[in-house]
Structure 1
Amino acid sequence: MSQATAYRLIKLFRAGGTILSLVDRKRGRPQGHRVLDDKREEIIRATINAYYLKRTRPTVSQLVRDVQTNCMGSSHRIVGR
């Protein structure tokens, strides 16, 4: 356990006052929290919809490369196979 985690648990314990305040903690990011900005989320969504959700689709690795290309591009056009 890291020092930061230990301090976080101590803070939770002090706030709740009981051991139960440490139980049932969900792991990971809070629901609805995004790491990417809205523009990149839309690029990823559009690339998946345009090129991956079809009967003949590229490999996942090709999809990832297309998403990276689209995110690095300055225009809003979607590149894909």
Structure 2
Amino acid sequence: MFRVTAILAGLAMFVLIVEMVLKYAMSNDALAWWSPVHGLIFMAFAVATANLGFKIGWPVGRMVLTILLACIPFVAFVEERRVVREVTPLTT
């Protein structure tokens, strides 16, 4: 669940950036509906992060940091890869 919501939140961030550029730079409200959708996706990501964090014993600060890092474009994808590598058992 974490991996899917992390990737969706990262992609949703890019659509939100496009929406903001359209709205504020071009006075175009074509994607005005996207902001609440992005908010829902991000809340699902926050819940998935907390769920994963509690299951593997992360401190609350680590969960908060993971959520905050997802607010930075591109960093969300890097953090997702790092977390998945950390929690996936080695298969050798």
**Shorter-chain TM-score category?**
0.3 to 0.5
Larger relative contact order (C-alpha < 8 A, sep ≥ 6)?
2
Query: TM-score, normalised on structure 2?
Result: 0.35
Query: TM-score, normalised on structure 1?
Result: 0.39
Greater percentage in helix? 2
